[in-house]
A and B are shown apart, each in its own frame.
Chain A
């Protein structure tokens, strides 16, 4: 599955030849992230975050597995075993801070990866499946991160678990039994802690599985690029190795510098002090907030303060809590239909003047505001602001995008990636071979090449 000009794996030694016949694993790697994968030559630094996300996942799994060796998922001792890791385990403090900050950095990387997708419309055909799998990965990450935050069994762990599982009680009829079933009790206790630990250990491997599907789906059409013009010819691409392995190596270095700066100098800056107080069901914290990476969705949840009633009758159609829960889940589920909401044939935001304005002056400030408001106290003016920005969030995806994709006049696209990079492309002037009779199996109707399976 690659373009016709992709390099082929050539086993050199007798052993690799033997292995290639029996189990062509090196060939798989060569085609996936080696010289056998041709990639557009014009990718900018925003395309570094996929590899970085994969690195974060591995970092979390490695540190997490070692932490699990020293941790005990028991209500009576969980908080103490975390302190045991911090004080008695060799470099335990480093492992735990790397794991805790690793979760935050994983989300930073993923948010940049997702917003790269928004700006360059990476979700559009033929890449819908990559996008859908990506949203699944994001949902799994959220579940994993939430359950991981419960494990230290501090005050925010306990009350966060209480609030988040309490969301299920908003579901009519089955809500309350569902919450009891999920927690294994009437409040978060040992049963909940145990199952959260079990699932927190399991889900990263599920994520890894979906990541493999995500990369597999990526290799069918190949990577997108900042112009949004599909690959047409060999001069549009470079082999992944060494070109992008080198670039990703540099990106990884920059990422590691920022990451280790947090781990070693500000390890608790992204956490909440209350989580260093052992869980106490009898004492409610002044402000219950999730981890910062959930703030936008928490702001959307809290934005719905009024029940949906029939005016002047007092009959409640949908209680405010259920509205909030629907909106919170809906705010992510709407990403699933994004490829069909935005019908503009142009992918890159660079060539979409109207879309670009709404992206930079609508979506980005809205997300920034929701990030702030999700962590703020539930008082005015924060409530009104979160209501306004929540409204814009839904309007952006569900109303503005479909309409601008209909009325916008895009700027002219470059003929090819080569032209975009070099300023000229000889193929643009000469009649192109292979498309003359229009029946070439490797050519799509728009003139772009389809990689042969």
Chain B
């Protein structure tokens, strides 16, 4: 009986019965009535201080990015802020030789992460979920790159890719003059080289997320499918994978966000030189570079913001709606 319901609606298992909900409402209303004046002030401070800090540093600045994107400003006095309308965006879209390559690289970054390390992470998770020996040891090895800082990873992979002294060129004999393969400098190669490093890290992350997802799969589903005579692949394809839907959503969102956030690795690798431009790098170069153009840098940030929110908001709204129901 229970098995049938779980097979039909795997999400039902994670949703508690709707019984306690009205009771909860009554309790919280009771809470409210018992509050003294001092309690109310305490509560206001408890919720208010963190909210103000968060809003001021994250959302006010995000809104300021939007506002500044339509202006030019030298950053010195507030009177020098001038409204220029869409001028920054016009320049960005038509005159900046780095902008469209950067957009393309961010897209490639996402496509590669979702096509290579994500399925690989899922595959490893499925294998490691089979209650085999040394599972912990393998997990640690795959997960190690996730713990280390991106900056450190950048340096470690430079040792692999260095044209003169690196592992790859030394192994294939490409470190002699005339035979150089410049993995870091060559604009045709460097994005792929850095993506190998990024995928190396992303695989472990995906593996951990999927392992957690697999742990919550009802074991009776597997038994039922084995009794029906399904082989391993069939079981995975038609029983396990569909129940991983919540994990898949998280993985998709995490991967998109990672692709938009990609920065440290490239910056350490070659400072975002030709071939590895990214939106995040363009924004940063606009600040720490010699010619800081505030309005222009904000316009790039707005592009990044719009793409991010297009992913974040639907995801969060769906998540919270589900939670409110439960």
Q: Do A and B bind each other?
A: no
B→A interface (CB under 8 Å): none
A→B interface (CB under 8 Å): none
